[in-house]
Amino acid sequence: MNAKSLFLATACLLASACSEPVDHRQGVYMLLDTSGTYTQELNKAQSIMNYVLAKLDSADVFAVARIDTASFSEKDIIAKVSFDEQPSRANQQKRVFLEHINHFVNSVRSSTYTDITGGVLQGVEFLREAGTGTKTILIFSDMKEEIPEGYVRDVPLDLEGIEVVALNVTKLRGDNIDPREYAGRLEAWKSKVEQAGGRWRVINDLERLEAIIQE
Amino acid sequence: MSPESWFLIFPGAPGFSIAVLVVLAMVSLYLARMPVHQAIRSATRALRNGMRLTARSLELLEQRLVSRNREVLLSAGREAAERVMEREFERIEVAVNRDLSDYPALHRRLSAAIQRIEEDYQSHVESPQAPEDWVHAVDAIAKIPSSRDTMARVLKDIQASIERDQVTALAEYRKATNLRHRVLSRAMPHWRHLVKGIDSVNAALNRLLDRSRSIDRYMEEYRSIVRGDERAERALSSSSLTQFFIAGLVLAIAVGGALVNFHLIARPLQEMVGGSAYIAGFKVSQVAALVIILMEIAMGLFFMEAMRVTRLFPVIAALDDRLRVRMGWAAFVLLFILAGVEAGLAYMREVLAQDDAALIAQLAGTGTAVTSQQWITSAAQMGMGFILPFALTFVAIPLESFIHAARTVFGVVAVLGLRALAFLFRLGGNICHHLGMLLVQLYDILAFAPLGVEKLIATRGAGRKSAPSVKAAEV
């Protein structure tokens, strides 16, 4: 009986140890809308970034990029970091990252167009490359996309395993005139993301920041 | 024909059709009565027998388990009683070595004291002679016939001499008495020494007598256990249950301590083994912290075992005494090192916590979080990190009690479980049996008409058979 129990316990331990390893690392790619008057909202974005920085742990990946006229570019990545295995070094990296972000927020210039899809494409590429266990794209924007002429953004997205969270989706002047525009805009993005295999969420209440990154 | 009217043998006369069908059904049931009864009885009997057999097997198993539990309980009790008696004998050995080992020296001291007292006694026995010879001399002189004056003068001289000698004798006597008193006062310390020595021997003997009475009591309990008395078994069983709950409570407290210990070292260990590596779903740092705590508990167990406080490992108990003591020292040194490591980790935890707090404050934009009196928390954490491993050492004692008591308690629970299971199987068997009888009765109710006819015929047949016999009897 004892031998049987020992065998069962060992088998259970081996089974749990030999099961598919789960990657617990989190990857977060945050897009900041810098078009038009939305730059005035960047202070709110800063608090969100600070919150995300506080929540992320060792070996997690975080990048912040801007949404401008053509966002599908590495040049639009303002700061990126892969946190060290040691929490104290990760803290140092967070401090350096924070300085980068502060510098950007203080010196940002408005862009003419809003290429959200390009930014999402860039984010997907970045997160796939990072290979983290969970992948989240945070879009701090009014979700009103304006693409300059000649740019092709009607491309199929692959958002399998990626969660897209729209933050602080403000109402535009036209939305106030016809609220269906606002709902339609969000619905369009939702269907776009879900058709691409991703998960879609909208968080406008910035008091509920704990819902941004799901554990 | 609609599906609902398939049973209409005579279309257009449903009542008649139903009646015919009922009659046919009853006849069929009557014809099939015996085989169906047999089938029901066989099935229920098989179920009942199976369940009774299972119940019987469970009862036998329960009896074996009860017997085994009894053996284990008595064996554990015997072992415990042996340990207690062994300790008592060790204590007696210590007491004898401590109190009575110097008995020859004490005896010599007492003899010397007695001898000195005797000498003193002898020395003050000689007392100065009383001047009683003068009395005889006076008598003799008084009897001499002579003149009154001469006699008076002689007597006066004698009186004067007697008085003078009396004074001298009194002075001599006082001097001798004074000397005796001095001798006696010199003997007082010897007396006291003698009394003290006798008292100490008396106390030692009383202690030994107390111990021997304890041993007698333990010996009686031991004999009772060896005989397998029911009273001893009940006492041991009750003691096991009490031990189980008390040891369980203490272990729960120890688990709380281990949990605190775990949180003290898990965070700083992330700095050493990384904060993102996982083993079987758990962070490596948490596993490492757990391993360190388990190692401390293991060292504590070995230490307690080497000190002969517990007896979980017979191999350690059987080791040579010198080797066992060395092993105890080795375990203690390792425990001390681990406690030192923990104290360091606890300090590091505080430093990291301050760094985290500063970062959070920076991210929240509230400035640097600096608190005064940080050294208090640092010192408290370091102290806890150092003390908790040693405190966990004592887990060995309740753990041993818990393991020993758990065997008895789980045995009792298993017996109760088996007994309940056997009862349920027996009950199930009886239910099956009565269910079979009920089914047979229900079947007969369905075929009541043919059975009634059969009964009628049987009654009449019996009447016809009995009529000739009555007539014959009358004839």
pLDDT of A172 over the 70 cut: yes
Query: Among partner residues B352, B360, B364, which is closest to A87 by beta-carbon distance?
Result: B352
Q: Which residue has the higher pLDDT, A36 or B56?
A: B56
Give the mean pLDDT of A26-43: 86
pLDDT of A191 over the 60 cut: yes
**Tens-level pLDDT at each residue, chain B (475 residues):** 555 666 677 777 778 888 888 888 888 989 999 999 999 999 999 999 999 999 999 999 999 999 888 888 888 888 888 888 888 888 888 878 777 777 777 778 778 878 877 777 776 665 555 555 666 766 776 676 656 677 778 778 877 887 888 888 888 888 888 887 887 777 777 778 788 878 888 888 888 888 888 888 888 888 888 887 888 888 888 888 888 999 999 999 999 999 999 999 998 998 888 877 888 888 889 999 999 999 999 999 999 999 888 888 888 888 888 999 999 999 999 999 999 999 999 999 888 888 888 888 888 877 665 666 778 888 988 999 999 999 999 999 999 999 988 888 898 899 999 999 999 999 999 999 999 999 999 999 988 888 888 888 888 877 776 656 555 555 4
Tens digits of per-residue pLDDT, B122-177?
766 655 555 556 667 667 766 766 566 777 787 788 778 878 888 888 888 888 88
Contact B355 A51 (CB under 8 A): no
Q: How confident is the model at residue A90 (pLDDT cuts 50, 70, 90)?
A: very high
Looking at residue B278, its pLDDT comes to 84
Asked if B359 is an interface residue toward chain A (Cβ–Cβ < 8 A), one would say yes
CA-based nearest distance B262→chain A, Å: 18
Measured between alpha carbons, how far is B169 from B129 in angstroms, rounded to an integer? 8
Indicate the SS3 state at residue A28: strand
Looking at residue B145, its pLDDT comes to 65
Give the number of A-B residue pairs with CB atoms closer than 8 Å. Answer: 57
Looking at residue B418, its pLDDT comes to 94
Asked if B90 is an interface residue toward chain A (Cβ–Cβ < 8 A), one would say no
Between A95-99, A147-151, B102-106, the lowest mean confidence (pLDDT) is in: B102-106
B positions 260-289 inside 8 Å of A (CB): 267, 270-271, 274-281
Contact A85 B276 (CB under 8 A): yes
Asked if B363 is an interface residue toward chain A (Cβ–Cβ < 8 A), one would say yes
Measured between alpha carbons, how far is B211 from B356 in angstroms, rounded to an integer? 62
- Collect all residues from A whose CB is shorter than 8 A from any CB in B: 13, 16-17, 19, 21-22, 24-25, 50-51, 53-54, 57-60, 85-88, 90-91, 94-95, 98
Q: Where are the beta strands (DSSP E) in A118-187?
A: 134-140, 162-167
CA-based nearest distance A138→chain B, Å: 19
Closest Cα in chain B to A102:
B363
Cα separations (Å) of B371 from B366, B375, B376?
A: 14, 10, 11
Q: What is the pTM of this model?
A: 0.66
Q: Which residue has the higher pLDDT, B371 or A207?
A: A207
CA-based nearest distance A87→chain B, Å: 6
Task: Indicate the average pLDDT of chain A.
Answer: 85
Asked if B366 is an interface residue toward chain A (Cβ–Cβ < 8 A), one would say no
Q: Is residue A78 a contact partner of residue A104, using CB atoms and an 8 Å limit?
A: yes
Helix intervals (H) in A32-178: 42-55, 87-107, 116-130, 173-177
Judging contacts by C-beta atoms under 8 Å, the chain B residues touching residue A60 are 276
